[in-house]
Chains A and B, each alone.
Chain A
Amino acid sequence: MIAHLDADCFYVSAERVRRPSLLHLPVGVLGNQGACVIAKSYEMKAAGVKTGVPIWEAVKLCPDGIYIKRDFQWYEVLSRMMLDMVQSCSPTVEYYSIDEFFFDADRVDPKELQARILNTVGVPVTVGVSKSRTLAKLASDAGKPFGCRVLLDDEEIASYIESINVQEVTGIASRSATKLAENGIRTCGEFRRADPQLINRLLTKRGEALWWELHGQPITKIATSRPRHKAIARGGSIGEATDDPDIQTAWLVRNVERLIEAMFWNRYLCNRLTVAVGYKDRSFAQRSTLPEVTNASEVLLPTAKHIFAQRPPGVVTHIDIIADQLALAGQHQQSLFTSRPRIDAIKRAVNDKLGRFKVRSGETLPLTEVYTDDAHNHDICDIHGKTCF
Protein backbone atom coordinates (compact mmCIF):
# COMPACT_ATOMS: atom_id res chain seq x y z
CA MET A 1 0.00 0.00 0.00
CA ILE A 2 1.16 3.51 -0.80
CA ALA A 3 -0.01 6.55 1.12
CA HIS A 4 0.00 10.19 0.16
CA LEU A 5 -0.01 12.67 3.03
CA ASP A 6 -0.93 16.24 2.12
CA ALA A 7 -1.10 19.13 4.60
CA ASP A 8 -4.35 21.07 4.42
CA CYS A 9 -3.80 24.65 3.15
CA PHE A 10 -0.29 24.27 4.53
CA TYR A 11 1.00 27.85 4.47
CA VAL A 12 -2.13 29.12 6.22
CA SER A 13 -2.08 26.22 8.70
CA ALA A 14 1.58 26.97 9.44
CA GLU A 15 0.75 30.61 10.14
CA ARG A 16 -2.08 29.52 12.41
CA VAL A 17 0.34 27.44 14.46
CA ARG A 18 2.16 30.59 15.57
CA ARG A 19 -0.79 33.00 15.27
CA PRO A 20 -3.86 31.22 16.67
CA SER A 21 -5.90 34.41 16.17
CA LEU A 22 -6.04 33.41 12.49
CA LEU A 23 -8.09 30.29 13.25
CA HIS A 24 -11.45 30.22 11.42
CA LEU A 25 -10.62 33.45 9.56
CA PRO A 26 -10.30 33.92 5.82
CA VAL A 27 -6.51 34.11 5.39
CA GLY A 28 -4.45 34.71 2.27
CA VAL A 29 -0.69 34.19 2.15
CA LEU A 30 0.99 36.66 -0.18
CA GLY A 31 4.01 36.06 -2.38
CA ASN A 32 7.34 37.72 -1.87
CA GLN A 33 6.39 40.98 -3.52
CA GLY A 34 3.03 41.30 -1.78
CA ALA A 35 1.08 41.35 -5.02
CA CYS A 36 -0.48 37.88 -5.31
CA VAL A 37 -2.25 35.34 -3.14
CA ILE A 38 -0.12 32.19 -3.24
CA ALA A 39 -2.18 30.21 -0.71
CA LYS A 40 -5.51 30.68 1.00
CA SER A 41 -7.62 29.20 3.76
CA TYR A 42 -10.81 27.31 3.04
CA GLU A 43 -12.73 30.34 4.37
CA MET A 44 -11.07 32.59 1.79
CA LYS A 45 -11.61 30.00 -0.92
CA ALA A 46 -15.32 29.99 -0.04
CA ALA A 47 -15.35 33.73 -0.73
CA GLY A 48 -14.22 33.01 -4.28
CA VAL A 49 -10.52 33.86 -3.96
CA LYS A 50 -8.32 31.66 -6.12
CA THR A 51 -4.60 31.01 -5.82
CA GLY A 52 -2.60 33.42 -7.96
CA VAL A 53 -5.07 36.31 -7.97
CA PRO A 54 -3.69 39.81 -7.33
CA ILE A 55 -4.37 41.14 -3.86
CA TRP A 56 -6.55 43.97 -5.15
CA GLU A 57 -8.91 41.44 -6.71
CA ALA A 58 -8.85 39.21 -3.63
CA VAL A 59 -9.81 42.16 -1.42
CA LYS A 60 -12.87 42.86 -3.56
CA LEU A 61 -14.04 39.26 -3.09
CA CYS A 62 -13.02 38.99 0.56
CA PRO A 63 -12.73 42.43 2.19
CA ASP A 64 -12.51 40.97 5.71
CA GLY A 65 -9.72 38.57 4.77
CA ILE A 66 -6.39 38.77 6.57
CA TYR A 67 -3.30 38.88 4.38
CA ILE A 68 0.07 37.67 5.55
CA LYS A 69 3.57 37.54 4.12
CA ARG A 70 4.94 34.11 3.32
CA ASP A 71 7.77 32.80 5.47
CA PHE A 72 9.41 29.70 4.03
CA GLN A 73 11.87 29.44 6.89
CA TRP A 74 8.98 28.79 9.27
CA TYR A 75 7.18 26.54 6.81
CA GLU A 76 10.35 24.43 6.46
CA VAL A 77 10.56 23.97 10.23
CA LEU A 78 7.05 22.48 10.29
CA SER A 79 7.58 20.56 7.06
CA ARG A 80 10.65 18.80 8.48
CA MET A 81 8.78 18.03 11.69
CA MET A 82 6.10 16.32 9.59
CA LEU A 83 8.77 14.50 7.59
CA ASP A 84 10.38 13.23 10.81
CA MET A 85 7.02 11.94 12.03
CA VAL A 86 6.26 10.13 8.79
CA GLN A 87 9.78 8.65 8.75
CA SER A 88 9.33 7.48 12.34
CA CYS A 89 6.50 5.19 11.29
CA SER A 90 7.47 4.16 7.76
CA PRO A 91 10.84 2.95 6.43
CA THR A 92 10.22 4.26 2.91
CA VAL A 93 9.29 7.93 2.65
CA GLU A 94 9.48 10.38 -0.24
CA TYR A 95 9.77 14.09 0.61
CA TYR A 96 7.73 15.08 -2.42
CA SER A 97 7.16 18.75 -1.68
CA ILE A 98 7.11 21.08 1.30
CA ASP A 99 3.66 19.80 2.29
CA GLU A 100 3.34 16.39 0.60
CA PHE A 101 4.86 13.01 1.34
CA PHE A 102 4.51 9.57 -0.23
CA PHE A 103 5.26 6.57 1.96
CA ASP A 104 4.96 2.84 2.24
CA ALA A 105 1.85 2.42 4.36
CA ASP A 106 1.91 -1.33 4.95
CA ARG A 107 2.46 -0.99 8.68
CA VAL A 108 1.07 2.49 9.27
CA ASP A 109 -2.22 3.50 10.86
CA PRO A 110 -2.95 6.62 8.77
CA LYS A 111 -5.51 7.99 11.21
CA GLU A 112 -3.13 7.64 14.12
CA LEU A 113 -0.39 9.44 12.12
CA GLN A 114 -2.82 12.16 11.15
CA ALA A 115 -3.79 12.71 14.80
CA ARG A 116 -0.15 12.69 15.93
CA ILE A 117 0.84 15.34 13.38
CA LEU A 118 -2.08 17.55 14.39
CA ASN A 119 -1.26 17.22 18.10
CA THR A 120 2.51 17.59 17.75
CA VAL A 121 3.00 19.93 14.80
CA GLY A 122 -0.40 21.64 14.88
CA VAL A 123 -1.04 21.20 11.16
CA PRO A 124 -4.11 19.33 9.85
CA VAL A 125 -3.27 16.81 7.13
CA THR A 126 -5.20 14.51 4.83
CA VAL A 127 -4.04 11.00 4.02
CA GLY A 128 -4.96 8.92 0.99
CA VAL A 129 -4.06 5.23 0.82
CA SER A 130 -4.25 3.06 -2.26
CA LYS A 131 -2.37 0.62 -4.48
CA SER A 132 -0.24 3.15 -6.39
CA ARG A 133 0.97 6.67 -5.78
CA THR A 134 -1.29 8.12 -8.48
CA LEU A 135 -4.33 6.53 -6.84
CA ALA A 136 -3.11 7.50 -3.36
CA LYS A 137 -2.88 11.14 -4.49
CA LEU A 138 -6.40 11.00 -5.92
CA ALA A 139 -7.57 9.42 -2.65
CA SER A 140 -6.09 12.22 -0.56
CA ASP A 141 -7.66 14.80 -2.87
CA ALA A 142 -10.99 13.11 -2.14
CA GLY A 143 -10.40 13.19 1.60
CA LYS A 144 -9.67 16.91 1.93
CA PRO A 145 -9.80 18.59 4.34
CA PHE A 146 -8.57 16.58 7.33
CA GLY A 147 -9.78 13.28 5.94
CA CYS A 148 -8.40 9.81 5.58
CA ARG A 149 -9.48 8.01 2.44
CA VAL A 150 -8.52 4.40 1.77
CA LEU A 151 -9.08 3.13 -1.78
CA LEU A 152 -8.10 -0.53 -2.04
CA ASP A 153 -11.14 -2.29 -3.42
CA ASP A 154 -10.99 -2.49 -7.24
CA GLU A 155 -14.68 -1.73 -7.71
CA GLU A 156 -14.48 1.20 -5.33
CA ILE A 157 -11.41 2.54 -7.16
CA ALA A 158 -13.12 2.24 -10.54
CA SER A 159 -16.27 3.89 -9.29
CA TYR A 160 -14.43 6.71 -7.51
CA ILE A 161 -12.14 7.74 -10.36
CA GLU A 162 -14.70 7.19 -13.14
CA SER A 163 -15.75 10.82 -13.56
CA ILE A 164 -12.61 12.61 -12.36
CA ASN A 165 -11.11 14.90 -15.01
CA VAL A 166 -7.80 13.51 -16.29
CA GLN A 167 -6.12 16.80 -15.47
CA GLU A 168 -6.57 16.00 -11.79
CA VAL A 169 -3.92 13.30 -12.28
CA THR A 170 -0.41 14.52 -11.46
CA GLY A 171 1.54 14.28 -14.72
CA ILE A 172 -1.31 15.19 -17.05
CA ALA A 173 -1.11 18.90 -17.73
CA SER A 174 -3.14 20.93 -20.19
CA ARG A 175 -1.21 19.93 -23.35
CA SER A 176 -1.52 16.23 -22.54
CA ALA A 177 -5.18 16.71 -21.67
CA THR A 178 -5.78 18.34 -25.05
CA LYS A 179 -4.20 15.36 -26.86
CA LEU A 180 -6.34 12.98 -24.81
CA ALA A 181 -9.50 15.02 -25.42
CA GLU A 182 -8.87 14.85 -29.18
CA ASN A 183 -9.13 11.08 -28.74
CA GLY A 184 -12.29 11.25 -26.66
CA ILE A 185 -10.55 10.80 -23.31
CA ARG A 186 -11.56 13.36 -20.70
CA THR A 187 -12.10 11.41 -17.50
CA CYS A 188 -10.01 8.95 -15.55
CA GLY A 189 -12.59 6.28 -16.35
CA GLU A 190 -12.13 6.87 -20.10
CA PHE A 191 -8.35 6.93 -19.58
CA ARG A 192 -8.45 3.56 -17.82
CA ARG A 193 -10.57 1.98 -20.57
CA ALA A 194 -8.31 3.30 -23.33
CA ASP A 195 -5.74 1.08 -25.05
CA PRO A 196 -2.40 1.52 -23.20
CA GLN A 197 -0.60 1.58 -26.56
CA LEU A 198 -2.71 4.56 -27.60
CA ILE A 199 -1.81 6.28 -24.32
CA ASN A 200 1.85 5.51 -24.98
CA ARG A 201 1.61 7.05 -28.46
CA LEU A 202 -0.10 10.15 -27.11
CA LEU A 203 1.79 10.70 -23.84
CA THR A 204 4.92 8.53 -24.18
CA LYS A 205 5.87 5.89 -21.65
CA ARG A 206 5.31 8.33 -18.78
CA GLY A 207 1.65 8.52 -19.77
CA GLU A 208 1.45 4.76 -20.04
CA ALA A 209 2.91 4.50 -16.54
CA LEU A 210 -0.03 6.57 -15.34
CA TRP A 211 -2.39 4.16 -17.11
CA TRP A 212 -0.91 1.25 -15.12
CA GLU A 213 -0.93 3.29 -11.95
CA LEU A 214 -4.65 4.04 -12.40
CA HIS A 215 -5.14 0.27 -12.71
CA GLY A 216 -3.51 -0.15 -9.30
CA GLN A 217 -0.06 -1.21 -10.55
CA PRO A 218 2.62 0.77 -8.69
CA ILE A 219 5.00 1.74 -11.51
CA THR A 220 6.51 4.90 -10.05
CA LYS A 221 8.48 3.98 -6.97
CA ILE A 222 8.72 6.00 -3.79
CA ALA A 223 11.94 8.02 -4.14
CA THR A 224 13.66 8.20 -0.78
CA SER A 225 16.24 10.63 -2.14
CA ARG A 226 16.05 13.33 -4.72
CA PRO A 227 17.02 12.34 -8.29
CA ARG A 228 19.92 14.34 -9.73
CA HIS A 229 19.11 17.69 -11.28
CA LYS A 230 19.71 18.26 -14.99
CA ALA A 231 20.15 21.94 -14.25
CA ILE A 232 20.02 24.10 -11.18
CA ALA A 233 18.96 27.73 -11.12
CA ARG A 234 18.44 30.68 -8.82
CA GLY A 235 16.77 33.99 -9.53
CA GLY A 236 13.38 35.29 -10.55
CA SER A 237 11.73 38.65 -10.06
CA ILE A 238 14.01 41.38 -8.72
CA GLY A 239 11.15 43.14 -6.93
CA GLU A 240 10.87 46.71 -8.10
CA ALA A 241 11.87 46.85 -11.79
CA THR A 242 14.90 49.07 -12.28
CA ASP A 243 17.32 50.44 -14.84
CA ASP A 244 19.93 51.19 -12.17
CA PRO A 245 23.01 49.15 -13.15
CA ASP A 246 24.24 48.93 -9.54
CA ILE A 247 20.97 47.43 -8.34
CA GLN A 248 20.84 45.09 -11.35
CA THR A 249 24.40 43.93 -10.62
CA ALA A 250 23.53 43.48 -6.95
CA TRP A 251 20.72 41.09 -7.93
CA LEU A 252 23.00 39.24 -10.32
CA VAL A 253 25.61 38.75 -7.60
CA ARG A 254 22.99 37.74 -5.02
CA ASN A 255 21.61 35.11 -7.39
CA VAL A 256 25.08 33.78 -8.21
CA GLU A 257 25.88 33.49 -4.49
CA ARG A 258 22.62 31.62 -3.90
CA LEU A 259 23.32 29.34 -6.86
CA ILE A 260 26.79 28.51 -5.52
CA GLU A 261 25.26 27.69 -2.12
CA ALA A 262 22.73 25.36 -3.76
CA MET A 263 25.42 23.69 -5.87
CA PHE A 264 27.59 23.13 -2.83
CA TRP A 265 24.67 21.66 -0.84
CA ASN A 266 23.84 19.27 -3.70
CA ARG A 267 27.56 18.56 -4.34
CA TYR A 268 27.30 19.75 -7.94
CA LEU A 269 29.82 21.35 -10.22
CA CYS A 270 28.82 22.73 -13.59
CA ASN A 271 30.37 23.07 -17.00
CA ARG A 272 28.06 25.76 -18.35
CA LEU A 273 26.42 28.92 -17.04
CA THR A 274 23.46 30.83 -18.46
CA VAL A 275 22.33 34.30 -17.47
CA ALA A 276 18.76 35.22 -18.42
CA VAL A 277 17.50 38.78 -18.02
CA GLY A 278 13.83 39.73 -18.26
CA TYR A 279 12.64 43.18 -19.27
CA LYS A 280 9.08 44.49 -19.38
CA ASP A 281 8.86 43.89 -23.10
CA ARG A 282 11.70 41.53 -24.02
CA SER A 283 14.26 39.12 -22.70
CA PHE A 284 17.96 38.38 -23.05
CA ALA A 285 19.78 35.10 -22.42
CA GLN A 286 23.31 34.02 -23.10
CA ARG A 287 25.31 31.01 -22.01
CA SER A 288 28.99 30.35 -21.62
CA THR A 289 30.98 27.15 -21.34
CA LEU A 290 33.34 27.35 -18.40
CA PRO A 291 37.08 26.75 -18.64
CA GLU A 292 36.69 23.91 -16.13
CA VAL A 293 33.97 22.04 -14.27
CA THR A 294 33.51 24.06 -11.10
CA ASN A 295 31.25 25.50 -8.41
CA ALA A 296 33.70 28.21 -7.33
CA SER A 297 32.84 31.91 -7.05
CA GLU A 298 36.24 32.70 -8.54
CA VAL A 299 35.03 31.31 -11.88
CA LEU A 300 31.24 31.59 -11.79
CA LEU A 301 30.94 35.21 -10.70
CA PRO A 302 33.26 36.71 -13.36
CA THR A 303 31.59 34.52 -15.99
CA ALA A 304 28.11 35.67 -14.94
CA LYS A 305 29.25 39.29 -14.93
CA HIS A 306 30.84 38.93 -18.35
CA ILE A 307 27.58 37.60 -19.80
CA PHE A 308 25.55 40.20 -17.92
CA ALA A 309 27.63 43.00 -19.42
CA GLN A 310 26.36 41.97 -22.87
CA ARG A 311 22.72 42.65 -21.92
CA PRO A 312 20.87 45.47 -23.64
CA PRO A 313 20.11 48.54 -21.51
CA GLY A 314 16.64 48.94 -20.05
CA VAL A 315 14.36 48.39 -17.09
CA VAL A 316 15.00 44.90 -15.78
CA THR A 317 12.31 42.82 -14.05
CA HIS A 318 13.89 39.34 -13.72
CA ILE A 319 17.39 37.89 -13.47
CA ASP A 320 18.02 34.13 -13.53
CA ILE A 321 21.29 32.22 -13.34
CA ILE A 322 21.23 28.63 -14.57
CA ALA A 323 23.99 26.07 -14.16
CA ASP A 324 23.86 22.91 -16.26
CA GLN A 325 26.04 20.11 -17.59
CA LEU A 326 26.35 19.13 -13.96
CA ALA A 327 28.83 16.72 -12.41
CA LEU A 328 28.97 15.41 -8.89
CA ALA A 329 31.86 16.64 -6.76
CA GLY A 330 34.52 13.96 -6.57
CA GLN A 331 33.40 12.38 -9.82
CA HIS A 332 34.77 15.02 -12.17
CA GLN A 333 38.05 15.48 -13.98
CA GLN A 334 40.15 17.84 -11.87
CA SER A 335 42.51 20.38 -13.39
CA LEU A 336 46.20 20.39 -12.54
CA PHE A 337 46.57 24.08 -13.27
CA THR A 338 43.99 25.84 -11.11
CA SER A 339 44.46 26.88 -7.50
CA ARG A 340 42.05 25.65 -4.89
CA PRO A 341 39.21 28.20 -4.52
CA ARG A 342 39.01 29.70 -1.04
CA ILE A 343 36.43 32.48 -0.81
CA ASP A 344 33.39 30.17 -0.74
CA ALA A 345 34.84 28.03 2.05
CA ILE A 346 35.54 31.14 4.14
CA LYS A 347 32.05 32.50 3.53
CA ARG A 348 30.50 29.18 4.48
CA ALA A 349 32.56 28.90 7.64
CA VAL A 350 31.39 32.32 8.85
CA ASN A 351 27.81 32.06 7.68
CA ASP A 352 27.35 28.61 9.18
CA LYS A 353 28.17 30.17 12.54
CA LEU A 354 26.57 33.61 12.25
CA GLY A 355 23.74 33.13 9.80
CA ARG A 356 23.09 33.05 6.08
CA PHE A 357 24.39 36.04 4.08
CA LYS A 358 26.24 37.51 7.07
CA VAL A 359 29.28 37.50 4.78
CA ARG A 360 28.37 38.34 1.21
CA SER A 361 29.75 40.27 -1.70
CA GLY A 362 30.02 44.03 -1.22
CA GLU A 363 28.33 44.41 -4.59
CA THR A 364 25.06 43.37 -2.95
CA LEU A 365 25.03 46.48 -0.73
CA PRO A 366 22.29 48.21 -2.78
CA LEU A 367 19.98 45.40 -1.58
CA THR A 368 20.38 46.03 2.15
CA GLU A 369 16.60 46.15 2.66
CA VAL A 370 16.24 42.76 0.98
CA TYR A 371 18.90 41.20 3.19
CA THR A 372 17.56 42.68 6.43
CA ASP A 373 14.18 41.01 5.88
CA ASP A 374 14.54 37.32 6.74
CA ALA A 375 11.51 36.44 4.62
CA HIS A 376 13.53 37.32 1.51
CA ASN A 377 16.43 35.16 2.52
CA HIS A 378 14.72 31.81 2.43
CA ASP A 379 12.80 30.73 -0.62
CA ILE A 380 11.00 27.49 -1.36
CA CYS A 381 13.91 26.38 -3.55
CA ASP A 382 16.16 26.65 -0.47
CA ILE A 383 14.30 23.74 1.09
CA HIS A 384 16.53 20.91 0.01
CA GLY A 385 15.76 17.27 -0.59
CA LYS A 386 12.26 17.56 -2.05
CA THR A 387 11.69 15.45 -5.12
CA CYS A 388 9.23 17.89 -6.65
CA PHE A 389 9.07 21.71 -6.57
Chain B
Amino acid sequence: MLLMFGVSLARRELTEALIERHQLAARISKRHAEADEEIHFMDYHRPRVLPVLLDGQILILPWGGWKEIETLQGEYAGLEGEIPATFGFDSGIWYAMRGIRCCVIRRMIYPIRRSSTHYYEIMTRQSRMPLFVGETI
Protein backbone atom coordinates (compact mmCIF):
# COMPACT_ATOMS: atom_id res chain seq x y z
CA MET B 1 0.00 0.00 0.00
CA LEU B 2 1.27 3.47 -0.89
CA LEU B 3 1.37 5.82 2.06
CA MET B 4 2.02 9.56 1.75
CA PHE B 5 2.31 9.68 -1.98
CA GLY B 6 2.61 12.74 -4.17
CA VAL B 7 4.07 14.28 -7.28
CA SER B 8 5.76 17.57 -8.04
CA LEU B 9 5.57 19.57 -11.23
CA ALA B 10 7.56 22.65 -12.22
CA ARG B 11 5.40 25.73 -11.68
CA ARG B 12 6.20 26.99 -15.17
CA GLU B 13 4.29 24.02 -16.61
CA LEU B 14 0.99 25.46 -15.32
CA THR B 15 -0.66 28.70 -16.39
CA GLU B 16 -1.40 31.37 -13.81
CA ALA B 17 -5.09 30.96 -14.61
CA LEU B 18 -4.95 27.26 -13.80
CA ILE B 19 -3.09 27.91 -10.55
CA GLU B 20 -5.68 30.51 -9.54
CA ARG B 21 -8.71 28.49 -10.59
CA HIS B 22 -7.60 25.48 -8.54
CA GLN B 23 -6.16 27.52 -5.66
CA LEU B 24 -2.75 25.93 -6.02
CA ALA B 25 -0.69 28.93 -4.84
CA ALA B 26 -0.32 27.49 -1.33
CA ARG B 27 1.28 24.38 -2.82
CA ILE B 28 4.13 26.26 -4.47
CA SER B 29 7.55 25.78 -2.94
CA LYS B 30 11.27 25.85 -3.71
CA ARG B 31 13.88 23.36 -2.52
CA HIS B 32 16.74 25.77 -2.99
CA ALA B 33 17.06 29.53 -3.50
CA GLU B 34 18.28 29.11 -7.09
CA ALA B 35 16.02 26.19 -7.99
CA ASP B 36 12.80 26.27 -10.00
CA GLU B 37 9.50 26.70 -8.21
CA GLU B 38 7.47 23.51 -7.91
CA ILE B 39 3.82 22.74 -7.29
CA HIS B 40 3.15 19.72 -5.12
CA PHE B 41 0.16 17.41 -5.46
CA MET B 42 0.15 15.27 -2.33
CA ASP B 43 -2.46 12.73 -1.33
CA TYR B 44 -3.05 14.62 1.93
CA HIS B 45 -3.82 17.90 0.15
CA ARG B 46 -7.45 18.98 0.00
CA PRO B 47 -8.95 19.11 -2.51
CA ARG B 48 -7.09 15.99 -3.69
CA VAL B 49 -6.21 16.75 -7.30
CA LEU B 50 -3.60 15.77 -9.89
CA PRO B 51 -2.39 17.23 -13.16
CA VAL B 52 -3.07 15.23 -16.30
CA LEU B 53 -1.88 15.65 -19.86
CA LEU B 54 -4.81 15.25 -22.24
CA ASP B 55 -4.70 16.21 -25.91
CA GLY B 56 -1.48 18.12 -25.36
CA GLN B 57 -2.95 20.21 -22.58
CA ILE B 58 -2.43 20.01 -18.82
CA LEU B 59 -5.67 19.87 -16.80
CA ILE B 60 -6.16 19.65 -13.06
CA LEU B 61 -8.71 16.98 -12.15
CA PRO B 62 -9.81 15.22 -8.95
CA TRP B 63 -7.72 12.24 -7.84
CA GLY B 64 -10.09 9.28 -7.77
CA GLY B 65 -7.76 6.68 -6.26
CA TRP B 66 -5.40 4.04 -7.66
CA LYS B 67 -6.02 1.49 -10.41
CA GLU B 68 -4.13 -1.77 -10.06
CA ILE B 69 -2.58 -2.78 -13.37
CA GLU B 70 -3.59 -6.41 -12.83
CA THR B 71 -7.28 -5.41 -12.78
CA LEU B 72 -7.25 -3.23 -15.88
CA GLN B 73 -9.40 -4.75 -18.58
CA GLY B 74 -10.38 -3.72 -22.08
CA GLU B 75 -13.10 -1.36 -20.89
CA TYR B 76 -10.42 1.18 -20.01
CA ALA B 77 -9.09 1.30 -23.57
CA GLY B 78 -9.01 4.88 -24.74
CA LEU B 79 -9.10 6.21 -21.19
CA GLU B 80 -5.32 6.22 -20.69
CA GLY B 81 -3.63 9.46 -19.73
CA GLU B 82 -0.36 10.67 -18.37
CA ILE B 83 0.30 12.52 -15.15
CA PRO B 84 3.13 14.94 -15.94
CA ALA B 85 5.59 15.14 -13.07
CA THR B 86 9.22 15.92 -12.45
CA PHE B 87 9.51 14.28 -9.06
CA GLY B 88 7.58 11.66 -7.15
CA PHE B 89 7.22 11.30 -3.39
CA ASP B 90 6.64 8.00 -1.66
CA SER B 91 6.95 7.29 2.06
CA GLY B 92 9.38 10.12 2.70
CA ILE B 93 11.54 9.74 -0.42
CA TRP B 94 11.57 12.23 -3.28
CA TYR B 95 12.77 10.73 -6.55
CA ALA B 96 13.19 11.89 -10.13
CA MET B 97 10.80 10.67 -12.81
CA ARG B 98 9.10 11.70 -16.04
CA GLY B 99 5.45 10.98 -15.33
CA ILE B 100 2.93 8.32 -14.33
CA ARG B 101 0.45 6.39 -16.46
CA CYS B 102 -3.16 6.86 -15.44
CA CYS B 103 -6.78 6.32 -16.44
CA VAL B 104 -9.15 9.24 -16.74
CA ILE B 105 -12.68 8.10 -15.97
CA ARG B 106 -15.55 10.57 -15.78
CA ARG B 107 -13.17 13.50 -15.28
CA MET B 108 -11.38 11.73 -12.41
CA ILE B 109 -7.72 10.67 -12.46
CA TYR B 110 -6.68 7.17 -11.42
CA PRO B 111 -2.89 6.66 -11.40
CA ILE B 112 -1.97 3.09 -12.29
CA ARG B 113 0.21 1.04 -10.00
CA ARG B 114 1.96 -2.30 -10.21
CA SER B 115 4.05 -4.48 -7.95
CA SER B 116 7.29 -2.77 -6.95
CA THR B 117 10.60 -3.57 -8.52
CA HIS B 118 13.20 -4.73 -6.03
CA TYR B 119 14.90 -1.35 -6.39
CA TYR B 120 11.73 0.65 -5.67
CA GLU B 121 10.86 -1.58 -2.75
CA ILE B 122 14.29 -1.10 -1.18
CA MET B 123 14.16 2.65 -1.80
CA THR B 124 10.67 3.29 -0.41
CA ARG B 125 9.85 0.07 1.47
CA GLN B 126 6.59 -0.13 -0.48
CA SER B 127 5.33 -3.22 -2.27
CA ARG B 128 3.38 -1.26 -4.93
CA MET B 129 4.75 1.44 -7.20
CA PRO B 130 3.33 3.73 -9.88
CA LEU B 131 3.53 2.71 -13.53
CA PHE B 132 6.06 5.23 -14.76
CA VAL B 133 6.22 6.83 -18.17
CA GLY B 134 9.21 5.70 -20.22
CA GLU B 135 11.37 4.22 -17.47
CA THR B 136 11.64 1.60 -14.78
CA ILE B 137 12.67 2.74 -11.34
Contacts and interface: CB of A to CB of B under 8 A. Distances in A.
Nearest to B33: A24
Contacts, number: 70
B118 A19 contact: no
Nearest to A32: B119
For chain B, the bracket of interface size reads 20 to 34
Contacts of A122: none
B17 interface: no
B36 A21 contact: yes
A66 B90 CA distance: 12
A369 B117 contact: yes
Contact of A68 (B32, B35, B95): B95
Contacts of A63: 92
B32 A33 contact: no
B118 A239 contact: yes
B123 A67 contact: yes
A22 B96 contact: yes
B44 interface: no
Interface string B56-90: 00000000000000000000000000000011000
A194 to B, nearest CB: 45
23 contacts: A15-B96, A19-B96, A21-B36, A21-B86, A21-B87, A24-B32, A25-B31, A26-B32, A27-B96, A30-B119, A32-B119, A33-B118, A34-B119, A34-B120, A35-B122, A55-B123, A64-B31, A66-B87, A66-B94, A67-B123, A69-B137, A373-B117, A374-B136
Given A25-B31, A69-B119, A373-B136, 20 more contacts: A19-B86, A21-B86, A22-B96, A23-B34, A23-B35, A24-B35, A25-B35, A27-B96, A30-B119, A32-B119, A34-B120, A34-B122, A35-B122, A63-B92, A65-B94, A67-B95, A67-B123, A69-B137, A239-B118, A240-B118
